[in-house]
Amino acid sequence: MKEYKKIRILGTSDLYFVYKLLKVMRNPKTKFDGKEFAKKGEDYLFNYVDKNLGGVDESRRNFLKGLVFGVAAATVIGIIPGLRVLVPPVQSVTGFPKTILLTASGTPLKASQIPVNSPITMVFEYPLSGEPNFLINLGDASGKPVEIPPTTVTIPQTGKTYQFPGGVGPNKSIVAYSAVCQHLGCTPPYIHFYPPQYTTPSQVTAAEPNELSAAALIAARSAHIPAVIHCDCHGSTYDPYHGASVLTGPTVRPLPAVILEWDSSNDYLYALGAVGVATYPEGSNGVPSQDPREDLDESQFGSPVGTSSKISEINTFGSS
């Protein structure tokens, strides 16, 4: 009986990975070199992905091997049939929309219902589709909400500063930051919030994507903060209590912050805009513009989200 080779069916994570790969391949700053690929084959591809998209584990390496011939033929687009339909068109917006945050079921998210120090990563897209942002209700080590005041954030890359407006909600403890690491653009689950119960020495030996570097733990203790945002790709760490400022490298850019508004009459949350550096990898090279809308002109994400954006949840810490 004739045997047929098994064909791998692409899942959502595969398609999103290909989508990100195509974006960096199109980007003049990270353009894929077809000639080098022709000479070096999969070694060039592995190094290219590791440099521009983060680490390449065994599963991703096997997936890339299956794309080698397709990449050689297409380089920029068309890795798999019908991909042009799957990748949303790149657009910009002339101004930040006022976008209400919704639950996964489509009902308005209420600020008072967001758990404090939750290990569940809450993410919403804004202002463009494919542009993820964290939504976090910050607390102290005992789990009580902490008021997050406005603060001046310094960009190590340039030495320039900008103002983070602080938290919102009934306790002024809710913040939102870009979920795209400013080092090489890694996204959840590899970058996520580590609540106090996970900003501990035990996480130094945890498996990815929950490994916390010793440098991150020391930096958190030195900054007197109980929790951090940490990227497991290369170890960048951010301070969510002070505008997602840089705690440890290799990043030299803070996470951009989404400006939130809380309507006390109904407990709803809205995204109004963004401050800080442009979202990796495009924009103003670390220099925040006076009008953050300018950064959208070079966006490599999808279409505007409009007046509403749904929250999705990622449980990186498992059942705990």
The mean pLDDT of 162-167, rounded to a whole number, is 93
Q: Which residue has the higher pLDDT, 108 or 34?
A: 108
In percent, how much of the chain has pLDDT > 90?
A: 49
Interatomic CA distance for residues 238 and 197, integer angstroms: 17
- Nearest partner of 296 among 89, 162, 95, judged by Cα: 95
The mean pLDDT of 294-313, rounded to a whole number, is 73
- Specify the 3-state DSSP secondary structure of 85: helix
In this predicted structure, the answer to whether residue 295 has a pLDDT above a threshold of 50 is no
pTM value surpassing 0.75 = no
| pLDDT band at residue 201 under the 50/70/90 scheme | very high
What secondary structure does DSSP assign to 256-284, as a single string? PEEEEEEETTTTEEEEEEEESSPSTTSSS
Structure tokens of 146? Answer: 């902490």
**Cis-peptide, bond into residue 195, ω within 30° of zero:** no
pLDDT score for 68: 56
CA distances from residue 48 to 51, 56, 125, 133, 173 in whole angstroms, order as listed: 5, 10, 27, 25, 39
- Identity of residue 287: V
Mean pLDDT (the chain) is: 79
pLDDT score for 199: 96
- Nearest partner of 63 among 1, 3, 21, judged by Cα: 21
The pLDDT tens digits for 51-103 are 877 766 666 676 666 655 444 434 433 333 333 333 333 333 446 889 999 99
In percent, how much of the chain has pLDDT > 70?
A: 69
In this predicted structure, the answer to whether residue 127 has a pLDDT above a threshold of 90 is no
Interatomic CA distance for residues 178 and 153, integer angstroms: 15
